[in-house]
Structure 1
């Protein structure tokens, strides 16, 4: 691409033939840093096709790219979509089946006029559309820090959560060991306590007879004498 004007002036530092002149502003732009490797490679393929006045008729079809080593149409389509979204290329003519390929233009150059563009393509073309932010390498004396290139177009992986939330329970959530039928009842616990107290009192020399609290006390029990008196009184009354 471009004229070999340096060789005419005695530039022998490179091989002969045409070359693809890409401005540094393209490589230093944040949009270029965010491109994937297939998108950058496809951009080089499109830049290779430019020959002075065909900016607007550049091809990225598989028929053109397969002989140059491209094997996957899906990879080409994703890379093309990425370049269009980043503003490095512009589609001047949309392709159609069976044998009409799309045309494209590089946005760091002026769009060349050709017949066959889609309606409104000339008016919609924006030169330098890739320059949306400050360059990666600032100009000397600006005092601005360079922008660090992003790792790519892939979205970062979501951060895993720290774990399940712990329930604020008054007691342990783990069930107690054993079957509920094997557990002693409240009455059995009282009998065990009474037996322990009896053993303790016997050890210290005291003998204690425990009474069932459900039974009436001695003061409430009617004695034999009182029962006999009540019976005699009833007999006399009769």
Structure 2
């Protein structure tokens, strides 16, 4: 029979993971960092395997595969992490020298071979020395709304009254059209008809031939 007072199993995960101490999460350095800098720090933690601290890189191709496609934003976030002591650069790369290498400052560096810093020059826990103010956040854009535009979220629509004319409208004579004779097509195109002058026949008057004309029946 199982013991009732058996210690409950701690919540655990399977597979590799990145560890970050509470002292880092609660530090002024981390809490004051921008969101992009924090996200880049977590991306860099993905490379740590337990014995390669100091050899973490932020190569452009690797960042692009991780979704970091803006080089300018990546550089700003990297410099912010360095200024706040969350990471430290351990090797300066260049042409035919490979990428720049970095270390997470809450871990030890077990192997300094090939790095540009020594054990005496490495300061573990440098994030605790940070006294910088929080990085300013970008203010959301201000959307200006036209007062005359109806607000769809408002229960009472905005109604604009048209200004009524108080004067007398005068129509020029040229605008008055005589009665027209013609027809229209199905496209409302007016086609005028030619006017034929009718010949008036006068009954009871002698013509040139001298024959008296008779009234028409």
TM-score (norm 2): 0.55
Counterpart CA distance in 2 for 1:121 and 1:27 is 27
Deviation sequence 1:142-169 (CA, Å, 0-9, x none)? xxxxxxxx6x412999xxxxxxxxxxxx
Residue aligned with 1:124, SS: coil
Aligned to 2:73: 75
Output one character per residue of 1:148-206: Cα deviation in whole Å (capped at 9) or x when no partner: xx6x412999xxxxxxxxxxxxxxxxxxxxxxxxxxxxxxxxxxxxxxxxxxxxxxxxx
2:34 equivalent to 1:52: no
Which residue is 1:4 aligned to? none
Cα RMSD (Å) = 2.9
State the match for 1:89 in structure 2: 87
Which range is displaced more, 30-39 or 12-21? 12-21
Separation in 1 of the partners of 2:93 and 2:124? Answer: 22
In 2: Cα distance, 1:124 partner to 1:102 partner: 17
Higher share of residues assigned strand: 2
Q: How far did residue 95 of structure 1 move? A: 1.5
Match of 2:135 in 1: 153
Name the CA shift for 1:124/1:80 in 2 (closer, same or farther; >3 Å). Answer: same
Q: Tell me the matched-pair count.
A: 133
- Structure (1/2) with the larger helix percentage: 1
Runs (5+) with no aligned partner, structure 1 = 1-9, 135-149, 158-238
Tell me how far 1:113 sits from its aligned partner.
1.1
| Runs (4+) off by over 3 Å | 10-15
SS class of match (1:76): helix
Q: Which of the two has higher C-alpha Rg? A: 1
